[in-house]
């Protein structure tokens, strides 16, 4: 069970402390029941209830109240800590993973698993704590019954074990059905996302709209059938638990007195205890579907973590920037026979970039051209170290880049890819001079749209071209030695495209930066020092200087 695995991942001290207070809460609960039984017996024998007994009752009640509260609070804290630790651990592994690993796992799945599943468990937790307390109470109730009648204890314990075993088997069936609910819910969420993300397309095309809606209705139908199926299994479980309790009490009341002398004296006390067990047993059964759902979700998180571990190969690679990079101030980066292949899930190669050779020198502007799907973006990701080459070498001034030094190497680059992400604040640039940012906003001709306030841009609700300019501001502030632009100018108007090629790129060159830019703008090809062309992943130089076109 994944929930137990989660709990055991905490510090043994905290785990033991939690078990202790939960035990104390269950124990004091049973002592209360015993006291009630005792007082009822005295009343039946017409013995007046003394003040001492009342005080004892109040003391035990106070103890129970405090222990129960402490148990619930500690359990809540303990589990929330474990969930936070799990989130931190998994996100920590995601941030250390290679881009290929993340692409293979799927961004959507990653997000859903980390954000939704853990959240779900966090929200359903109070019910689960209640159910766990019920288990402790059941154990102590049985122990109390042992003090009343050993025979009843043995019979009831045997029955309880059989009952719990059957319950466990049924719970497994429920868990399997829950796995199907999980799949159906994921399909439903994906289907809903088509309505929100493809809203413009469906509002333009009624047939598409209808077809998507029919598909959604089908997905919803399957989800409903599966959830109803789970509900049916849960009803069976709930009925079983109730029937089991009544059968047990029936056994105690009708059958056992037939066989054991003097048993009828204690039977009403045992019945009273059994009735106290109804609440916990019902709580346990009621929590079963939530428990199964949380366990299934947690299973997905653990499986994701294992897949990340496999890709990270142990501790993973560092993500922290070294104080003094050995690659800083580079003169030439050489790519020797670099080759990289995308593979499908079954390992079949789908596209190969390379082998290619080229050298990127400090302070030069290189343009990369090629048709759609020729491998320009793939080459850019290989150049900046987001992909590690399958073959070949990358050398910085003769020093090979290895797995260990790859992060140091990446720190040379700032890149803006077509699917760039605009962060809500300038992460990593917390001490930036706001006047500098404001000046750059003005230079990007965004002064009437955006302000820099409290470490963030006032708005990111901009056109794609304007958003790319904001991304460029962040890249310029990073002040790295190499700039990669993957079709950056494609979304700019004619005026700003000109600013980019005629002012911004030459400015970077003047500052000694190297630039590698993917471009289709043949009007500006004379702006580069060298142009490289890609065709089916193979790279070749075109001319060797300005005006090569
Ligand atoms: N993450 C990926 N997984 C598998 N294959 C990929 C992936 N990204 C790209 N490819 C494949 O690699 C090939 C080259 O893609 P790439 O994006 O590098 O080309 P491109 O020249 O940048 O194309 P475009 O000009 O259309 O942006 C394509 O056939 C594409 O299907």
Q: 487-501: per-residue pLDDT in tens?
A: 999 999 999 999 999
pLDDT surpasses 60 at 221: yes
Note the pLDDT of residue 381: 96
Buried b / exposed e along 124-138 (16+ C-beta atoms within 10 A): bbeebbbbbbbebbb
Q: Is residue 322 part of a domain?
A: no
Note the pLDDT of residue 431: 84
Identify the weakest region by mean pLDDT among 7-16, 72-81, 394-403.
7-16
pLDDT surpasses 60 at 547: no
Query: Any idea what the CATH number is for the domain that residue 105 is in?
Result: 1.20.1560.10
Note the pLDDT of residue 548: 47
pLDDT surpasses 60 at 314: no
CA angle 158, 159, 165 (to 5 degrees): 95
pLDDT, greater one: 118 or 469: 469
Closest to 310 (Cα-Cα) out of 84, 4, 104:
104
Question: What gap in Å lies between CA 443 and CA 437, rounded to an integer?
Answer: 10
Expressed in angstroms and rounded, the spacing between residue 354 Cα and the centre of ligand 1 is: 13
Question: What gap in Å lies between CA 311 and CA 305, rounded to an integer?
Answer: 10
What sign for the dihedral angle of Cα 402, 406, 409, 415? positive
Question: What gap in Å lies between CA 277 and CA 293, rounded to an integer?
Answer: 25
Clarify whether residues 424 and 283 are in a common domain: no
Question: What gap in Å lies between CA 537 and CA 379, rounded to an integer?
Answer: 8
Expressed in angstroms and rounded, the spacing between residue 375 Cα and the centre of ligand 1 is: 6
Task: Please list the residues that pair with 338 across neighbouring strands.
Answer: 356
In 79-158, which ranges are E strands? none
Q: Identify how many contiguous H helices and E strands the chain contains and give both numbers.
A: 17, 12
CA distances from 30 to 23, 132, 269, 273, 481 (A): 11, 16, 12, 8, 71
CA distances from 456 to 414, 432, 508 (A): 19, 11, 24
pLDDT surpasses 90 at 183: no
Note the pLDDT of residue 15: 78
Last residue of a domain, one of 250, 277, 312: 312
pLDDT surpasses 80 at 544: no
CA angle 414, 416, 418 (to 5 degrees): 160
Clarify whether residues 306 and 249 are in a common domain: yes
Clarify whether residues 100 and 203 are in a common domain: yes
Residue holding tokens 């695995």? 5
Q: Is residue 318 part of a domain?
A: no
Clarify whether residues 431 and 283 are in a common domain: no
Buried b / exposed e along 251-280 (16+ C-beta atoms within 10 A): ebeeebeeebeebeebbebbeebbebbeeb
Expressed in angstroms and rounded, the spacing between residue 355 Cα and the centre of ligand 1 is: 16
Residue nearest to atom 25 of ligand 1 (CA): 372
Question: What gap in Å lies between CA 382 and CA 402, rounded to an integer?
Answer: 13
Residue nearest to atom 24 of ligand 1 (CA): 372
Task: Please list the residues that pair with 333 across neighbouring strands.
Answer: 360, 396
Closest to 145 (Cα-Cα) out of 11, 319, 276, 246:
276
pLDDT surpasses 70 at 375: yes
Q: Tokens for 122? A: 């966090």
Last residue of a domain, one of 260, 279, 312: 312
Residue nearest to atom 31 of ligand 1 (CA): 373
Closest to 387 (Cα-Cα) out of 378, 395, 376:
378
Computed over every residue of the chain, the mean pLDDT equals 86
pLDDT surpasses 90 at 1: no
Clarify whether residues 143 and 255 are in a common domain: yes
DSSP, collapsed to helix, strand or coil, labels residue 518 as strand
Expressed in angstroms and rounded, the spacing between residue 164 Cα and the centre of ligand 1 is: 55
pLDDT digits (tens, 9 = 90+) for 521-540: 999 999 999 999 999 999 99
Cβ–Cβ under 8 Å, residues 212 and 194? yes
Question: What gap in Å lies between CA 493 and CA 485, rounded to an integer?
Answer: 16
pLDDT digits (tens, 9 = 90+) for 430-480: 888 999 999 999 999 999 999 998 888 888 788 999 999 999 999 999 999
Give DSSP secondary structure letters for 468-490.
HHHHHHHHHHHT-SEEEEESGGG
Q: How far is CA 157 from the centre of its chain?
A: 41
The dihedrals phi and psi of 374, each to the nearest 5 degrees, come to -80, -10
Clarify whether residues 291 and 343 are in a common domain: no
pLDDT surpasses 70 at 546: no
Residue holding tokens 């299973």? 299
Q: Is residue 298 part of a domain?
A: yes
Clarify whether residues 339 and 304 are in a common domain: no
pLDDT surpasses 80 at 397: yes
Buried b / exposed e along 459-468 (16+ C-beta atoms within 10 A): eeebeeebbb
Expressed in angstroms and rounded, the spacing between residue 395 Cα and the centre of ligand 1 is: 25
Last residue of a domain, one of 312, 342, 370: 312
Q: Is 302 in the pocket of ligand 1 (CB under 6 A)?
A: no
For residue 318, what pLDDT band results from cuts at 50, 70 and 90? low
Question: What gap in Å lies between CA 540 and CA 543, rounded to an integer?
Answer: 10
Beta-strand pair 452-453/456-457 = antiparallel
How many distinct structural domains can be found in the chain? 2
Q: Is 348 in the pocket of ligand 1 (CB under 6 A)?
A: no
CB atoms within 10 A of CB 443: 17
Clarify whether residues 201 and 262 are in a common domain: yes
| Neighbouring C-alpha atoms within 13 Å toward the C-beta of 322 | 16
pLDDT surpasses 50 at 549: no
Clarify whether residues 385 and 240 are in a common domain: no
In 77-183, which ranges are E strands? none
Residue nearest to atom 26 of ligand 1 (CA): 372
Note the pLDDT of residue 323: 66
pLDDT digits (tens, 9 = 90+) for 252-302: 788 877 776 666 667 878 888 887 777 777 777 777 777 788 888 888 889
Clarify whether residues 121 and 248 are in a common domain: yes
pLDDT surpasses 70 at 319: no
CA distances from 252 to 135, 153, 156, 164 (A): 21, 10, 8, 18
Closest to 68 (Cα-Cα) out of 136, 120, 161:
136
**pLDDT (average), residues 376-388:** 96
CB atoms within 10 A of CB 419: 6
Question: What gap in Å lies between CA 75 and CA 133, rounded to an integer?
Answer: 10
Cβ–Cβ under 8 Å, residues 283 and 134? yes
Question: What gap in Å lies between CA 116 and CA 182, rounded to an integer?
Answer: 11
Residue holding tokens 């079983």? 240
Query: Any idea what the CATH number is for the domain that residue 398 is in?
Result: 3.40.50.300
Cα Rg of the chain, angstroms: 34
What sign for the dihedral angle of Cα 351, 356, 362, 366? negative
Clarify whether residues 414 and 532 are in a common domain: yes
The dihedrals phi and psi of 532, each to the nearest 5 degrees, come to -115, 145
pLDDT, greater one: 320 or 359: 359
pLDDT surpasses 60 at 169: yes
Q: Is residue 548 part of a domain?
A: no
DSSP, collapsed to helix, strand or coil, labels residue 261 as coil
Which range of residues forms the domain containing residue 448? 332-542
Q: Is residue 255 part of a domain?
A: yes
Residue nearest to atom 17 of ligand 1 (CA): 377
Q: Is 351 in the pocket of ligand 1 (CB under 6 A)?
A: yes
Percent of the chain with pLDDT over 90: 40
Q: Is residue 326 part of a domain?
A: no
Note the pLDDT of residue 298: 86
Q: Is residue 317 part of a domain?
A: no
Q: Is 373 in the pocket of ligand 1 (CB under 6 A)?
A: yes
Residue nearest to atom 4 of ligand 1 (CA): 342
Note the pLDDT of residue 195: 93
Clarify whether residues 284 and 169 are in a common domain: yes
Percent of the chain with pLDDT over 70: 95
Question: What gap in Å lies between CA 167 and CA 346, rounded to an integer?
Answer: 40
For residue 21, what pLDDT band results from cuts at 50, 70 and 90? confident
Question: What gap in Å lies between CA 385 and CA 174, rounded to an integer?
Answer: 46
């Amino acid at each position: 069970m994944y929930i137990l695995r989660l709990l055991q991942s905490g510090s043994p001290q905290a785990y033991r402390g939690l078990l202790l207070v939960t035990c104390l809460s269950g124990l004091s609960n049973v002592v209360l029941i015993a006291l009630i039984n005792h007082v009822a017996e005295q009343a039946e024998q017409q013995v007046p209830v003394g003040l001492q007994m009342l005080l004892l009752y109040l003391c035990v009640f106070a103890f129970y109240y405090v222990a129960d509260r402490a148990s619930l609070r500690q359990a809540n804290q303990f589990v929330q800590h474990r969930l936070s630790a799990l989130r931190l651990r998994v996100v920590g592994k995601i941030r250390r993973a290679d881009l290929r690993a993340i692409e293979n796992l799927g961004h959507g799945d990653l997000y859903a698993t980390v954000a939704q599943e853990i959240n779900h468990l966090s929200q359903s937790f109070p019910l689960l704590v209640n159910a766990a307390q019920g288990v402790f109470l059941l154990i102590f109730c049985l122990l109390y019954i042992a003090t009343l009648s050993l025979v009843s204890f043995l019979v009831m314990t045997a029955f309880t074990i059989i009952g719990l075993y059957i319950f466990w088997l049924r719970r497994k069936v429920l868990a399997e059905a829950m796995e199907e609910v999980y799949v159906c819910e994921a399909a439903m969420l994906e289907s809903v996302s088509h309505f929100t993300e493809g809203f413009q397309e469906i509002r333009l095309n009624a047939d598409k709209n209808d077809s998507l809606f029919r598909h959604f209705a089908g997905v919803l139908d399957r989800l409903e059938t599966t959830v109803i199926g789970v509900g049916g299994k849960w009803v069976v479980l709930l009925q079983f638990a109730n029937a089991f309790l009544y059968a047990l009490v029936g056994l105690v009341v009708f059958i056992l007195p037939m066989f054991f002398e003097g048993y009828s004296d204690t039977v009403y006390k045992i019945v009273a205890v059994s009735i106290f067990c109804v609440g916990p047993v019902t709580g346990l059964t009621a929590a079963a579907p939530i428990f199964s759902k949380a366990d299934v979700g947690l299973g997905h998180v653990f499986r994701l973590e294992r897949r990340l571990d496999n890709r990270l190969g142990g501790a993973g690679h560092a993500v922290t920037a070294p104080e003094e990079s050995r690659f800083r101030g580079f003169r030439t980066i050489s790519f020797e026979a670099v080759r990289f292949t995308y593979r499908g899930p079954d390992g079949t190669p789908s596209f190969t970039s390379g082998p290619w050779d080229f050298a990127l020198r400090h302070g030069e502007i290189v343009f990369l051209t090629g048709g759609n799907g020729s491998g320009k973006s793939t080459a850019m990701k290989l150049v900046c170290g987001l992909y590690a080459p399958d073959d070949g070498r990358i050398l910085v001034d003769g020093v090979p880049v290895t797995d260990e030094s790859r992060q140091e190497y990446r720190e040379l680059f700032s890149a803006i890819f077509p699917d760039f992400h605009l962060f809500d604040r300038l992460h990593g640039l917390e001490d930036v001079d706001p006047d500098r940012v404001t000046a750059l906003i003005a230079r990007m001709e965004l002064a009437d749209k955006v302000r820099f306030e409290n470490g963030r841009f006032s708005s990111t609700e901009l056109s794609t071209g304007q958003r790319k300019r904001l991304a460029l501001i962040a890249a310029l502030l990073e002040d790295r030695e190499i700039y990669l632009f993957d079709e950056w100018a494609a979304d700019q108007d004619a005026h700003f495209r000109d600013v980019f090629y005629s002012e911004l790129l030459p400015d970077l060159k003047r500052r000694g930066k190297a630039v590698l830019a993917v471009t289709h703008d043949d009007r500006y090809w004379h702006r580069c020092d060298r142009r490289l062309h890609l065709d089916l992943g193979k790279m070749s130089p075109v001319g060797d200087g300005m005006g090569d076109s």
